[in-house]
Chains A and B, each alone.
Chain A
């Protein structure tokens, strides 16, 4: 069967009505395809996130990854990320607005099935949780090793004024969390605190804590890559989204 996809940059309306760039990938064909928003990690809107966006298209999703650092100007992803890092990150409210804009973008597409999942890694995992709690219209969320969901008072600042864990009562969709036992942010203790809060509020979630894995174990080009855990993690991500985003039977990259 013939397979194909379109992957391209596009412009979308983000927080405050700002036009920002995004990377969009979708299978060829009429659909309808479920949607996924990918929230990039702290190192920026980089090649890995483009690859991950195309991976979702390969699995039958209309996937979009907004450039959350667009307002910092053009440049190589690592230079822009360094600027954002020095500034203390991007404001939480802005991220939520940008991701909501990406969800609106997907829902306006003629080949979309109306469902949207959100996934993010590293700082994007934390932001995924924020969007799942504070944003509107998220059908399923995947937090991959998001650090600083649990934050001390000293870590709070004007850009990140509230610890995401404090929004747990507002979590509006099922949550999947993937973590590594050797991670220092989040630590297993912080993940346990998060889980306790989810239980307290009766939320639907599944957390997986991988042994012999630390931070960022999906990144095949970094020393923390763990092939076994990464493959299992990806399987869990796709099973979770298939369950909650109602992937139509037989949908894929084929036409």
Chain B
């Protein structure tokens, strides 16, 4: 944890931790030494709700390559989702292709 590279995103959603689901309000994204992953540096994301205390955290640590794959998957899913919500989109039309 010596890079102190941290980016923050305000988010709206839920995460599931050891005590069940809870609302999350922020994602803290950093590139630093992991706590658990067997890597020297990792892309770490903490989904947190500071109002609920330090334990309200769902943490993920992954390799830089994994993180880039994740970003691509998120963007692809969002793009597909956006397309399906465009005016004129029809399920029957999609299945006919």
Contacts and interface: CB of A to CB of B under 8 A. Distances in A.
B88 to A, nearest CB: 43
A75 B55 contact: yes
Interface string A30-65: 000000000001110000000000000000000000
Tell me whether chain A's interface is mostly helix, strand or loop, or mixed: loop
A76 B55 contact: yes
Contacts of A72: 54
A43 B54 contact: no
A229 interface: no
A215 B28 CA distance: 23
B59 interface: yes
Interface in A118-172: 122-123, 147-148, 155
A72 B54 CA distance: 8
Nearest to B32: A85
Nearest to A122: B2
A79 B54 contact: yes
Contact of A86 (B2, B28, B33, B55): B28
A89 B54 contact: no
Nearest to A157: B4
A83 interface: yes
Nearest to B28: A86
Interface stretch (B35-43, B62-70, B72-80, B89-97): B35-43
A88 interface: yes
A82 B6 CA distance: 11
B87 interface: no
Given A78-B35, A85-B4, A223 B40 contact: yes
A78 B32 CA distance: 14
A233 interface: no
Contacts of A223: 38-40
Interface of B: 1-4, 6, 8, 28, 30, 32-33, 35-36, 38-41, 46, 48, 50, 53-55, 57, 59
